[in-house]
Amino acid sequence: MADTVSPWPHSPVKVGLVGAGPWARGVHAPVLAAGPETELTAVWARRPEAARETAEPYGAVAVARFEELLDRCEAVAFAVPPAIQADLAGRAAKAGKALLLEKPIGLDVPSARGLVDVIDEAGVVSQIVLTNRYHPVAREFLRAARDMEVSGARSCCLSGAFLGGDFATPWRLEHGALLDLGPHILDLLDAALGPVVRVRGTGDPRRWVELTCEHESGAVSQASLSGSVDVQPGVMRVELFGPGPGLVYDSADLDHDECWPVLRRAFATAVRTGVSGELDARRGLYLQELMAQAATTVED
């Protein structure tokens, strides 16, 4: 199953990349360089050597200063920790650059809200890399969910990322699954069942968290989150239940490379039209507020 993609009628969007870690090297750089909608023009990172290694395979330039990156692009993609992203993305927005943001968009609600305020004031386009939302199977799942009467849902987002390896990074180990995995599952539940009006949590963010969401529709959903369990590969599953047949989204057998052309086209289209899509920074702030609400009831 795939969304129909028409030829790209515009010039490629020139994108600068902030960050040169595993996610930047493995996803952002090759996806943005693949085109035809985007062109990777420059990379800036704290470690110049890593920036060069990320940029050179795609003919991009590794720059020494963030300001130099801004001079070489019309949009900026971020693959850095949320506290760093919120500050640098604000500076890029003030410079008039469109933003491709990672989740969460900030480390906390004040930083996320501050970034959204800057984006609104600057009038720039923003988009969040909520990976699942760009997969054709997930998009079909959400289309079907809109036509379904849902009483409740159960879901999980589980991985062993915190146990070691490239993604056992300091901010993830400190803040845990709620901040890292929460945006993915809360976004899917909210999109499938309607707006979340209340969310409660229990558990330890560094081990296992359970969320219970009450939706505007009257439906109730639950989510299990952990980045500290030995499951290979990771599990992302949402099950919807109601008076009729159930509906399931399961990422286990999906090819996640199918997400990236959809994401790239959506971002480039937003930049060229000047209109952000559904998954913009304001969506990121909404998810951050839900996570903060859950955190007040989670044992830390």
pLDDT digits (tens, 9 = 90+) for 157-182: 999 999 999 889 999 999 999 999 99
The tens digit of pLDDT for each residue in 237-263 reads: 999 999 999 999 999 989 999 999 999
pLDDT at 10 over 70: yes
pLDDT at 2 over 80: no
pLDDT at 235 over 90: yes
**What CA–CA distances, in Å, run from 258 to 3, 8, 31, 150, 213?**
10, 18, 11, 28, 29
The listed range with the strongest mean pLDDT (3-12, 94-103, 166-175) is 94-103
Q: What is the mean pLDDT of the chain?
A: 95
Alpha helices (H) along the chain: 22-23, 29-34, 48-55, 66-71, 82-94, 109-122, 136-146, 170-175, 177-180, 182-193, 259-273, 281-295
Burial of 86 (0-12, 13-18, 19+ CB in 10 A): buried
CATH code: domain 136-253 is 3.30.360.10
Quote the CA–CA distance of 107 and 84 in Å, as a whole number.
9
Average pLDDT rounded to a whole number, residues 123-150:
97
pLDDT at 93 over 70: yes
Average pLDDT rounded to a whole number, residues 262-268:
98
pLDDT band at 6 (very low <50, low <70, confident <90, very high): confident
pLDDT band at 264 (very low <50, low <70, confident <90, very high): very high
Quote the CA–CA distance of 148 and 219 in Å, as a whole number.
12
Give the residues across from 221 on adjacent strands.
Answer: 153, 213
pLDDT at 5 over 70: no
Could you tell me the fold of the domain covering 13-130+258-279?
Rossmann fold (3.40.50)
Other Cβ atoms closer than 10 A to 288: 28
Every domain of the chain with CATH number 3.30.360.10 lies at 136-253
The tens digit of pLDDT for each residue in 26-67 reads: 999 999 999 899 999 999 999 999 999 999 999 999 999 999
